[in-house]
Amino acid sequence: MSKPRAYSVKAYSTASAPSPLAAAAIPRREPTDRDVQIEILFCGVCHSDLHFARNEWHFTQYPAVPGHEIVGRVTKVGPKVTKFKPGDIAGVGCMVDADPSCPHCRKNLEQFSPTMVGTYGGMDKHLGLPTYGGYSEGIVVDEHFVLRVPENLNLAAVAPLLCAGITTYSPMRHWKVGPGKKVGIVGLGGLGHMGVKFARAFGAHVVVFTTSESKKADALRLGAHEVVVSRNAGEMAKHAGTFDFILDCVSADHDINAYLGMLAVDGNITLVGAPEKPLPVAAFSLIMGRKSLSGSLIGGIAETQEMLDFCGKHNITSDIEMIRMNQINEAYERMLKSDVKYRFVIDMASLKNS
Amino acid sequence: MSKPRAYSVKAYSTASAPSPLAAAAIPRREPTDRDVQIEILFCGVCHSDLHFARNEWHFTQYPAVPGHEIVGRVTKVGPKVTKFKPGDIAGVGCMVDADPSCPHCRKNLEQFSPTMVGTYGGMDKHLGLPTYGGYSEGIVVDEHFVLRVPENLNLAAVAPLLCAGITTYSPMRHWKVGPGKKVGIVGLGGLGHMGVKFARAFGAHVVVFTTSESKKADALRLGAHEVVVSRNAGEMAKHAGTFDFILDCVSADHDINAYLGMLAVDGNITLVGAPEKPLPVAAFSLIMGRKSLSGSLIGGIAETQEMLDFCGKHNITSDIEMIRMNQINEAYERMLKSDVKYRFVIDMASLKNS
């Protein structure tokens, strides 16, 4: 494999944990044989972007460019690319590379491959440089990691599907959410609001748990059949022991045993939020009723495509608030206060003048 | 339903949490239409017996008679009993009654029915009196809760199958332990040693985790292919990320995240021991690899019969140390020090002179 040449694109980058994001130039590789070059139209803003920009996971190398909910237009393809041609609309999520021969990739679970390269914070094996995310004019990605985007959807509102969408879709498929199942969604934010939409589209009975009475109307609008205010012991007791599946989207500390108590026999709670401190799990909460607590991480590429196709068919997108690139630092502050319904998406056309 | 008459049998009972167990008379009901009267030959000693005798679960009513690993000979049957006749060898485990029309019972999961009556510490609906366990001359049980015992097995060593056996058999069946799977057993005691035997009989590759180097030889003798001393970081690291299933039989505090790290993608740990304090579970331990942590509680009656039949076919019993009834208080002290290989069984013939 000969080393491709690099070219420069404009991006929004941060130079250290306390620095704000600001305009800078970053390198991209010239498309290799199987690469797709994409002009980025929209990029969603995930809480992980903020963790990464501020080095809260302790592996950030600077300069750092976040962004892994990418929708754009194909501008160029390598000679061996078969799935895309210039002009196509395409998506890129959290992953941009992995060894296809690894046992996880052969099972379409690229997200668990030790060879997986993140869209940002990974290593571009062609250039031998860090990978830079979607807060940029363009990106170059191996076609295996590029998704087809249903053309009937609002493209800006598709962007968050590439992370928030697949993160909530995958565990519900894995745990067989469908008609006749009672499903709980804990936490109504970027992840949770997608969870509600998918659970409803899968035909389940959907109950949103929220700490805030003020979210009730919106939960119902998004598709919930019922809303339980989790601080209300009486409302909680009414639902005890009745859920087949609960998707826990909360990253703050919360009482997991209270939600295990909501499960029916053989019920499962899957965590997609990751609270900083360990969750104290009482063994009896699991033993009584053969319950399980599990985790889930985005989804494989094939499943991400399945999710996008499902969204196209069922007309599902994220509820978004569009921002300009130079509003990103303010958007991070608002995200920390959960002041967004339900996902910021950057209009990347604004990068030119940001 | 007319109230049956009670008759008196000799038992070993305790009058308060700090009291030792001692001989006393307890009531049993005359067999009703579907009842089986059993002369108890052997009764296993479960750690739950001790918790119950000492009111460590805070629901014990005194006098209390423990014992739920019962093997005996049928002495009398009610007129509508079809499965048993006098002279048959029969077993009774942790449950003696439940409403067969409840949704859990209809799924053969009597252990999760709110109507389930425990062999001790429950309520005999016929007499309106507490249920008393197997540390006694005889017991009277609805035939649905009486198990057939394979006649080729050592009957004393069958007794622990009724609790320790089904407790370990059921989750391994549920999580599909079999050929090609790598299975870990954490803790080599009454439960763990049965787990090793079953996992081996199911055709899995069996690894015992133990804190004590001294248990290595015995683990191998019981059927383990490998033994890992969990204090040895190097040995642990060698197995990281490779287990399909781990049966956690430990009731003491232990680092569950270390064992979650042993699981492969989609791996499961099932808890059958119940540590007193909640286990701190790091969300990322579950998220990275879509892992799950679950619990399991004995097994339903149909599955308990399946387990006994499996044991008959594969010649599986518990490793036991036989004691006389009047050695029970001393046996409890030894059990607290894990000084038993691997289950005490009371020779109930000794009750007469105890």
| Predicted confidence (pLDDT) per residue in A41-50, tens digit | 999 999 999 9
Please check whether residue B274 touches A, CB under 8 A.
Answer: yes
Phi, psi of A353 (to 5 degrees): -105, 15
Interface contact B284-A268, CB threshold 8 A: no
Interface contact A288-B112, CB threshold 8 A: yes
Three-state DSSP at B140 gives strand
Pair A177, A157 in one domain: no
User: Among A295, A319, A334, which residue terminates a domain?
Assistant: A295
Please check whether residue A158 touches B, CB under 8 A.
Answer: no
Nearest CA in chain A to B170: A290
User: Among B276, B295, B314, which residue terminates a domain?
Assistant: B295
How far is the CA of A172 from the CAs of A185, A245, A261, A272, A300, in angstroms?
11, 8, 20, 11, 14
Pair A184, A40 in one domain: no
Separation CA A50–CA A65 (nearest Å) = 10
- Interface size between A and B, measured as CB pairs under 8 A: 114
Pair B287, B309 in one domain: no
> Residue B285 carries which side chain, given as an amino acid letter?
S
Please check whether residue B109 touches A, CB under 8 A.
Answer: yes
Chain A partners within 8 Å of B284 (Cβ): 274, 295
User: Among B255, B270, B295, which residue terminates a domain?
Assistant: B295
A1 located within any domain = no
Q: CA nearest B86: which of B99, B67, B100, B72?
A: B72
Pair A10, A37 in one domain: yes
Put simply, the chain B residues between 167 and 196 with a CB less than 8 A from any chain A CB are 171, 174
- What's the number of domains chain B is made of? 2
| Res B255: pLDDT | 93
Host domain of residue A180: 164-295
Q: Which of A47, A112, A286, A288 is most worth mutating to test chain B (most B CB atoms within 10 A of its CB)?
A: A286
Beta B205-210 vs B138-142: how paired, if at all?
A: unpaired
Please check whether residue B16 touches A, CB under 8 A.
Answer: no
In this structure, what DSSP letter does residue B136 have?
B
Phi, psi of B284 (to 5 degrees): -65, -25
Please check whether residue A233 touches B, CB under 8 A.
Answer: no
Pair B279, B329 in one domain: no
| Dihedral Cα A67, A71, A73, A75, nearest 10 deg | 30
Chain A partners within 8 Å of B265 (Cβ): 104, 109, 112
Pair A155, A178 in one domain: no
CATH code, domain carrying B260: 3.40.50.720
Q: pLDDT tens for residues A105-119? A: 999 999 999 999 999
Of the pLDDT bands very low, low, confident and very high (cuts 50, 70, 90), residue A245 is very high
Nearest CA in chain B to A282: B278
Please check whether residue B283 touches A, CB under 8 A.
Answer: yes
What is the H or E stretch that residue A304 is in? Answer: helix A301-314
| Res B1: pLDDT | 56
Interface contact B279-A280, CB threshold 8 A: yes
Between helix B301-314 and helix B164-174 the angle, nearest 10°, is 100
B51 located within any domain = yes
**What number is the average pLDDT over the span A294-312?**
98
B208 located within any domain = yes
DSSP codes of every residue in B38-56: EEEEEEE--HHHHHHHTTT
Pair B12, B150 in one domain: yes
Pair A25, A117 in one domain: yes
Chain A partners within 8 Å of B281 (Cβ): 256, 278-281, 293
Pair A308, A185 in one domain: no
Q: pLDDT tens for residues A116-135? A: 999 999 999 999 999 999 99
The pTM score is: 0.95
Nearest to A294 among B171, B174, B286 (CB): B286
How does B139-174 read in b/e, with b if 16+ C-beta sit within 10 Å? bbbbbbbbbebbeebebbbbbbbbbbbbbbbbbbbb
Separation CA A318–CA A166 (nearest Å) = 12
CATH code, domain carrying A309: 3.90.180.10
Instruction: Give percent of chain A above pLDDT 70.
Output: 100
Q: Which of A57, A94, A260, A281 is most worth mutating to test chain B (most B CB atoms within 10 A of its CB)?
A: A281
Please check whether residue A293 touches B, CB under 8 A.
Answer: yes
Interface contact B280-A278, CB threshold 8 A: yes
- Report the Cα A259 to chain-centroid distance in Å: 23
B320 located within any domain = yes
**What number is the average pLDDT over the span A143-148?**
98
| Res A321: pLDDT | 98
Q: Which residue has the tokens 């067989």?
A: A176
For residue B162, give both structure tokens: 């009724």
End-to-end CA distance of chain B: 37
Nearest CA in chain A to B167: A287
Separation CA B182–CA B263 (nearest Å) = 10
Chain B partners within 8 Å of A278 (Cβ): 257, 280-283
Interface contact A293-B291, CB threshold 8 A: no
What is the H or E stretch that residue B70 is in? Answer: strand B70-77
Interface contact B274-A289, CB threshold 8 A: no
Please check whether residue B291 touches A, CB under 8 A.
Answer: yes
A324 located within any domain = yes
How does A338-350 read in b/e, with b if 16+ C-beta sit within 10 Å? bebbbbbbbebee
Interface contact A290-B268, CB threshold 8 A: no
Pair B306, B157 in one domain: yes
- pLDDT tens over chain B, length 354 residues: 578 999 999 999 999 999 999 999 999 999 999 999 999 999 999 999 999 999 998 999 999 999 999 999 999 999 999 999 999 999 999 999 999 999 999 999 999 999 999 999 999 999 999 999 999 999 999 999 999 999 999 999 999 999 999 999 999 999 999 999 999 999 999 999 999 999 999 999 999 999 888 899 999 999 999 999 999 999 999 999 999 999 999 988 899 999 999 999 999 999 998 888 999 999 999 999 999 999 999 999 999 999 999 999 999 999 999 999 999 999 999 999 999 999 999 999 999 998
Nearest to A290 among B265, B281, B294 (CB): B294
B1 located within any domain = no
Pair B219, B346 in one domain: no
B58 located within any domain = yes
> Residue A119 carries which side chain, given as an amino acid letter?
T
For the cut 70, the answer to whether the pLDDT of residue A1 exceeds it is no
Interface contact A294-B289, CB threshold 8 A: no
| Res A275: pLDDT | 85
Separation CA B247–CA A41 (nearest Å) = 50
B223 located within any domain = yes
Interface contact B290-A284, CB threshold 8 A: no
Pair A275, A343 in one domain: no
